[in-house]
Amino acid sequence: MMSIKLGDTAPDFTAETSLGDLNFYEYLGNSWGILFSHPADYTPVCTTELGYTSKLTVEFDKRGTKVLALSVDGVEDHQNWIRDINETQNTEVLFPIIADKGRKVSELYDFIHPNASASATVRSLLIIDPDKKVRLIITYPASTGRNFNEILRVLDALQLADSHKIATPANWENGDDVIVPPAISTEDAKNIFPKGVKEIKPYLRYTPQPNI
């Protein structure tokens, strides 16, 4: 078992899924990726999470992001559970769910925390960039459903930071002002960010979001 940290290269794997055998790197291609684990099939919180994720397909597509779920149950259970999700959540799950009965991927990604459960995966989520680097890790308790609006917000912030070399302040939402990183001088920032730079302190400077 290894511990995945921010900035690590996400390990590649081949696994059986609800949509057939899949190689992780081939599935992602040059896209961003979200890999998220679930304690078990036929659980109520996971049912709502997978349903809501499915409803965000258009939003993930806009961000060039592919989704991949994981549970330690088998393919047949996954496929039957997907029918339940589609029925109860009024959606159609089209992304694959890894069948990790042997816990190969779960152990590779440190999704099993013995103090929580010796066998079931925790509710973890990773954002992985096109270079296969891990950019976000969030782990929730089994009783608490994930906030996928927050996942979209972080995706926006990461992609904006990569393309425009900025940072985002607390509670940033798409369209808000962003932060000029300390490594950029105020003089250089005024050339880099033509919409203007507002200096609060020499180390705290804002500029309007560059891509809107």
Q: What percent of the chain has pLDDT over 90?
A: 85
Which sign does the torsion angle of CA 66, 153, 178, 132 carry?
negative
Q: Which residue has the higher pLDDT, 107 or 79?
A: 79
Q: What is the pLDDT of residue 119?
A: 47
Q: What is the pLDDT of residue 120?
A: 54
Instruction: Find the mean pLDDT for residues 185-197.
Output: 96
Q: Which residue has the higher pLDDT, 179 or 112?
A: 179
Instruction: Find the mean pLDDT for residues 22-33.
Output: 98
Q: What is the pLDDT of residue 195?
A: 96
Which of 109, 93, 84, 79 has the alpha carbon at shortest distance from 16?
79
CA 160 – CA 76 distance, rounded (Å): 40
Q: What residues act catalytically?
A: 46
Whole-prediction pTM value? Answer: 0.92
117-176 pLDDT, tens digit per residue, is 544 556 899 999 999 999 999 999 888 999 999 999 999 999 999 999 999 999 999 999
With vertex at residue 34, the alpha carbon angle to CA 168 and CA 100, rounded to the nearest 5 degrees, is 150
Q: Which residue has the higher pLDDT, 119 or 27?
A: 27
Q: In what order do the strands lie in the sheet with 204-207?
A: 178-179, 204-207, 198-201
- Statement: residue 84 has pLDDT above 90: yes
- Statement: residue 204 has pLDDT above 70: yes
- Statement: residue 77 has pLDDT above 60: yes
